[in-house]
Amino acid sequence: MAELSVLMSIYIKEKTDYVESCFQSLLHQTVKADEWVVVEDGPLTEEMYALLDRYQKEYPDLIKRVPLSQNQGLGLALRAGVPECRNDLIARMDTDDIARSDRFEKQLKMFSDNPSLDICGSDIDEFEETPDKVVAKRSVPATHDEIVAYQKKRDAFNHMTVMYKKNAVLEAGNYESCPLMEDTYLWARMILKGAQCANISEPLVFARIGHDMFKRRGGWSYFKKYRAGKKQVYKTGFISFWDYFYTVSIQFVVALVPGKLRGFIFKKLLHR
């Protein structure tokens, strides 16, 4: 067992069977974390409370629950969770995804081999029904310089895969509210603070996707939120106006095409 905290957030719309699959993948790691910090982002269903109660009863020294009285959204929920983590190394995990059994082992070795490293992510395999039926992949750049250059146009980290140093996150100001891109905003500020970055060129997480995800990423309302979030990133000075204009223009097209075409773009063009 490693001195490692896993940081997760749960809200009312999540499915208990997805969460249980996620938890089981964490329990079957080749190197296990010694703490799970679970932020309850507002009131949950009775079924979800029952699931969390069962796991907390079975693993009382492992699970630390952080209840929030109202739903805050992922970014602010994680902002509340980071200070609650007792370890300096924190692994992010989305509760509808599944970690490959050697995920933590591989990332911990990266930090052990590179003491100056502040954040390390990986590629992902994306699935709709079961992890053995991969429908798309998202590969990300591996080295620090490649990550910094890539981050100016698209996210260079798959958020659900990252492991980072708590102090580096807090020094950059922790997660902050930023429409649709709390993670993007954090990466920009961490890089500006001198954070050293890396990715492992293997899919260490199976990420769940579906038609609902493609629907949520479309429409005029979604585009306006995206544009507002990207403007916050632009104001940090990390990206140029051209970077801002280019990415917003691409998103304008993707957000307004029909849902089926958007799904094709994500699966076949943006995620390969």
Residue 107 structure tokens: 């990332």
CATH number of 2-209: 3.90.550.10
The DSSP bridge pattern shows strands 33-41 and 63-68 to be parallel
Confidence band (pLDDT; 50, 70, 90) for 210? low
- Evaluate if residue 149 carries a pLDDT over 70: yes
Query: For the chain, what are the domain ranges?
Result: 2-209, 214-270
Contacts of 78 (CB under 8 A, 6+ apart): 7, 9, 39, 92, 175, 182
Mean pLDDT score across all residues of the chain: 92
- Evaluate if residue 262 carries a pLDDT over 70: no
Q: Tell me, what DSSP letter sits at residue 87? A: S
Query: How far apart are alpha carbons 173 and 75 in whole angstroms?
Result: 12
Cα atoms found within 13 Å of the Cα of residue 242, Cβ hemisphere only: 0
Q: Bridge partners of 152?
A: none
- Among 34-43, 103-112, 130-139, 213-222, the minimum mean pLDDT is found in 213-222
3-state secondary structure of 30: coil
Most confident range (mean pLDDT) of 122-131, 231-240, 252-261 is 231-240
* Structure confidence by residue, pLDDT tens digits, 105-115: 999 999 999 99
* Structure confidence by residue, pLDDT tens digits, 179-206: 889 999 999 999 999 999 999 999 999 9
Confidence band (pLDDT; 50, 70, 90) for 254? confident
> Hey, what amino acid is at 9?
S
Cα atoms found within 13 Å of the Cα of residue 203, Cβ hemisphere only: 18
Whole-structure pTM value: 0.92
pLDDT at residue number 265: 54
